[in-house]
Amino acid sequence: MNFFDIDGFLYLLFFSVGAIIGSFLNVCIVRMPRNESVVFPSSHCPRCQAAILWFDNIPLVSFLLLRARCRACRQPIPWRYFLVELLMAGFSLWTYARFGMSWALVPALVFVAGLIIASVVDIEWRIIPDEISVGGMWAGLALSYIFPALHKGPASGILGAGAWVAVILAAVCIALYLFRMFQHKLSLEPWDRNVLLLGALFLAGQWGAFTLASLFPCCHAGLFALADALQGAVIGACALWFTGLVGEIFISKRIVTPYDFKGVVEDPEGLLKSLERDGYVDAQGNLQPAFRAVKTAAGLRLPPGCEAKRAEIFEGIQAVDEGGVMGWGDIKLMAMAGAFLGWQLVGLAFFIAPFFGAAYGLIKIIRKQDTAIAYGPFLALAFIVCLYWGEILLRRITVMYGL
Ligand SMILES: [Zn+2]
């Protein structure tokens, strides 16, 4: 590779564009979990609020020239800024190397960018912003139709099989969900109804797209890709939802304990007592209707000293309320990945992710650290493996099992 020929130039171009995108991802990582706009105001130092001048805002370069310190207040800038830019630059270059100059680059880069934001925010805040998971899912569906290159072409008859897998998996999940509701004497909330409605819409949509594509071969590529994306969203979300439901039916954890706030606040027992006083939980730790009535973290009444951890405390109780074993953030991220990768690759990622999680968990146990870990980054890692090598892995597996 020579940097003076056109190929070398393109590699350099993709690396630079990736670094610029990475710089924007940093803005999203800081502002999205705080519910701030990612467009206004322009970049400023989070410590001293000084505006960042254009020549101090050059991706990768400025961080090194400033030696990781703010020009105005000399406070250190976290290495995360540099790493995110480098990561996106590297993935951008690699994506070009893998897919070449094709339309697959657009959905692939949008997907990787979303995964980087989701992972870093999940590590720092233990939440995955809905803008990324839910917004990403809609983006994935739209991009699948416009740029079908990431999805398998209509030659693959197995696309029809995805429709049946989606229906069966969704039906099993709903049955388990109703069983759990019956077990815990819960009623169907308006929120549940919306999820079920959306699921039904997706199932109908994939069948519609598949049928339309078969009837009108002229515009089949986009429709086939859309059907695959819809199947991916349903199967991805249901696979993880199913795991959580099975775990919960056997573990049946619906009690808030001090452990849920361990490492979040200094005095978990005190926090639990005050939650009890305000009617969010009863003396046994069972959730009370008062918590259900609070819809956002901002509405939660908290004792002094817990203000800074408002979002995390809310998420903690909500995780118990919504099943405890598997967070909805991860389930929504699976739906997003399914829309980009299609049903076969998201299914493969579902089986790969636990290995990454287990390997990391093992290291934590050996180091005797708290083993509660964010699952989002492991899912993201599995999605990336499947994005670049999924097709090869699938081919190996189908050959191995003679399919
Ligand atoms: Zn500063």
CA atoms in the 13 A half-sphere facing the CB of 24: 13
Q: Is 205 within the bounds of a domain?
A: yes
Give pLDDT tens digits for 301-337: 888 778 888 888 888 887 776 654 456 788 999 999 9
Q: Which domain holds residue 12?
A: 6-101
Q: Separation of 60 CA from ligand 1 center, angstroms?
A: 18
Q: Separation of 15 CA from ligand 1 center, angstroms?
A: 28
Mention every residue, 6+ apart, whose C-beta is less than 8 A from residue 371.
361, 364, 365
Cα gap 388→97, rounded to integer Å: 10
Q: Separation of 44 CA from ligand 1 center, angstroms?
A: 8
Q: Is 191 within the bounds of a domain?
A: yes
- Shared domain for 232 and 351, answered yes or no, is yes
234 to each of 26, 177, 210, 282, 374, how far by Cα in Å?
A: 30, 15, 15, 36, 22
Cα gap 151→145, rounded to integer Å: 10
- Shared domain for 306 and 392, answered yes or no, is no
Q: What is the structure's pLDDT at 171?
A: 92
Q: Is 125 within the bounds of a domain?
A: no
- Shared domain for 76 and 188, answered yes or no, is no
Q: Is 370 within the bounds of a domain?
A: yes
Q: What is the structure's pLDDT at 45?
A: 85
Mention every residue, 6+ apart, whose C-beta is less than 8 A from residue 382.
349, 350, 352, 353, 356
Q: Separation of 127 CA from ligand 1 center, angstroms?
A: 27
- Shared domain for 24 and 83, answered yes or no, is yes
Q: What is the structure's pLDDT at 285?
A: 75
H, E, C per residue of 340-364: HHCHHHHHHHHHHHHHHHHHHHHHH
Q: Is 118 within the bounds of a domain?
A: no
Q: What is the structure's pLDDT at 246?
A: 80
Cα gap 143→145, rounded to integer Å: 5
Q: What is the structure's pLDDT at 318?
A: 78
Q: What is the structure's pLDDT at 324?
A: 46
- Shared domain for 379 and 330, answered yes or no, is yes
- Shared domain for 249 and 331, answered yes or no, is yes
Cα gap 145→164, rounded to integer Å: 21
Enter the tokens of residue 222.
């986009």
Q: What is the structure's pLDDT at 326?
A: 57
Q: Separation of 297 CA from ligand 1 center, angstroms?
A: 29
- Shared domain for 222 and 349, answered yes or no, is yes
Q: Separation of 377 CA from ligand 1 center, angstroms?
A: 29
- Shared domain for 166 and 283, answered yes or no, is no
Q: Separation of 91 CA from ligand 1 center, angstroms?
A: 30
What is the pLDDT tens value at each position of the chain, 403 positions in all? Answer: 555 677 788 999 999 999 999 999 999 999 888 888 888 878 888 788 888 888 888 999 999 999 889 988 988 999 999 999 999 999 999 999 999 889 999 999 999 999 999 999 988 877 888 899 999 999 999 999 999 888 875 545 555 788 888 989 999 998 988 887 777 666 676 667 888 888 899 888 888 888 888 787 776 788 888 989 999 999 999 999 888 788 766 655 567 777 778 778 888 888 888 888 888 888 777 777 788 778 778 888 888 778 888 888 888 887 776 654 456 788 999 999 999 999 999 999 999 998 988 888 777 777 766 555 678 999 999 999 999 999 899 889 888 887 6
**Residue after which a domain boundary falls, among 296, 321, 346:** 321
- Shared domain for 199 and 286, answered yes or no, is no
Q: Is 117 within the bounds of a domain?
A: no
Number of domains the chain is built from: 3
Taking CA 160 as the corner, what is the angle to CA 156 and CA 162, rounded to the nearest 5 degrees? 100
- Shared domain for 306 and 352, answered yes or no, is no
Hey, what amino acid is at 313? I
Q: What is the structure's pLDDT at 55?
A: 87
Residues flanking ion ligand 1, Cβ below 5 Å: 45, 47-48, 70, 72-73
3-state SS, residue 79: helix
Q: Is 392 within the bounds of a domain?
A: yes
- Shared domain for 29 and 61, answered yes or no, is yes
Handedness of CA 152, 99, 226, 89 (dihedral sign): positive
Burial class (CB in 10 A: 0-12, 13-18, 19+), 172: middle
Q: Separation of 42 CA from ligand 1 center, angstroms?
A: 14
Cα gap 255→284, rounded to integer Å: 7
